[in-house]
Amino acid sequence: MVRFKQHKLYIYTLVSLAVIFWGMSYIWTKMAFAYYQPITVMLIRLVISTSLMAIIFKARKLTERIDRSDYKAFVLLSLFSPFFFFIGENFGVYHVSPTVAAVIIATIPVFSPLLGYLAFREKVSPINVAGFLISFFGVLVMVMDGDMRFTAAPIGIFFLFFAVFSALVNIIFLKKLAAKYTSFTIILVQNFLGALFFLPVFLVMDFRDFIHIRPSWETVAALVALAVFGSTLAFMFYTTGVRAIGIARTAIFANLIPIVTAITSFIFLGELIDLSRVIGMFIVIAGLLMTQVSNLRRRKKQLPPNL
């Protein structure tokens, strides 16, 4: 019994750390922008993460061959995420506050049932539709005032919803590949191919400025934290949680990411969050929880009896 409780605490601790790392990734990204442009930040993040994961992969003696028939799916997977997704997310964070960015990105699970219906003809329940409408209303509360004028930069909101769209398309290819390959292999290949996609863009757009920049230690630390914690350890910890306690239970933890971002944004960046943003954030989270309630009930029967 003691061993079981220790195992359960260990899993919940890992998932909580993943949520904290992802919540803080928006802060680290904003800090990195003090010296570097978004393309540079994305490339450095992926290069460091890929190198670290390759070392871990070799140290653990993990070997998994990729079938030639899956090359195209991996390329398309990596094109939408991390390439398109990071472009949308990072340019979004560049133009709006980390808290607004985190809340909009958090709506991905709300749109997922709609994608399931359009791509796989999966049934959409009334609670999914209600959760979508509530979350979308919450986003409007956060980014618009009473006169329906944007309080956040529209271009930033556009980029963030482009990131949401990219993540949803990514799910289509991920669903196929996840049945054949481990999460570790998929993430490693995604990061590697993503870095290759960003490299020519970086050479054309940012390289000349990059070689003349002398960043502060804070910026270097933020980039390393993004790669090590945001792009590597967070995914590994979250995947461990999914395998141990199921997708639905783990996803409930992920709903806390915007709250982590709001708190750490206030502490490290001095971002003041007004009442409308607080209300909007909790409305979005309420909608997210609604869309996951039915999944949680359905998956409870599939969980191990001790979890």
Q: Is residue 306 part of a domain?
A: no
59, amino acid identity: A
Q: Which of 246, 248, 266, 247 is nearest to 258 (CA)?
A: 266
For residues 179 and 88, the model is more confident at 88
Task: Count the neighbouring beta carbons within 10 Å of the beta carbon of residue 305.
Answer: 4
Q: Is the pLDDT at 11 greater than 80, yes or no?
A: yes
Count how many domains the chain has.
1
In contact, 149 and 71? CB cutoff 8 Å:
no
287-289-292-297 Cα dihedral, nearest 10 degrees: -130
Q: Is 38 helix (H, G, I), strand (E, B) or coil?
A: helix
* 64-101 pLDDT tens trace: 889 999 999 999 999 999 999 999 999 999 999 999 99
- Quote the CA–CA distance of 260 and 6 in Å, as a whole number: 25
Please indicate, yes or no, whether the overall pTM of this predicted structure exceeds 0.85: yes
Tell me how many degrees the CA angle 111-190-260 measures, rounded to the nearest 5: 55
Do residues 226 and 82 lie in contact, with contact meaning Cβ atoms separated by under 8 Å? no
**Nearest C-alpha neighbor of 168 from the set 124, 130, 113, 127:** 113
User: How many whole angstroms separate alpha carbon 106 and alpha carbon 26?
Assistant: 12
pLDDT grade for 204, boundaries at 50, 70 and 90: very high
Closest CA to 136 of 286, 26, 254, 252: 286
**Cα(110)–Cα(118) distance, rounded to whole angstroms?**
14
pLDDT digits (tens, 9 = 90+) for 264-289: 999 999 888 788 888 988 998 888 88
Who has greater pLDDT, 179 or 258? Answer: 258
- Answer whether residue 180 is part of any domain: yes
Determine the average pLDDT of the residues in 31-57.
95
Residue 108: pLDDT band (50, 70, 90) is confident
Give the CA angle between residues 10, 16, 20 to the nearest 5°: 145
Burial of 109 (0-12, 13-18, 19+ CB in 10 A): buried
Q: What's the pLDDT score for residue 217?
A: 95
Residue 305 maps to a domain: no
How confident is the model at residue 51, as a pLDDT? 95
Position 307 in a domain: no
Select the highest-mean-pLDDT range: 8-22, 52-66, 119-133: 8-22
β-bridge partners, 229 = none
Neighbours of 272 (CB within 10 A): 9
What domain range is 94 assigned to?
A: 2-300
Percentage of residues of the chain with pLDDT beyond 90: 50
Helix locations, the chain, DSSP H: 2-32, 38-59, 71-78, 85-95, 98-105, 108-120, 126-143, 154-177, 183-205, 207-210, 217-225, 234-245, 247-254, 257-269, 275-300
Q: Which candidate, 287, 212, 240, 221, places its Cα nearest to that of 13?
A: 240
The pair of three-digit structure tokens given for residue 7, joined into one six-digit string: 């195992």
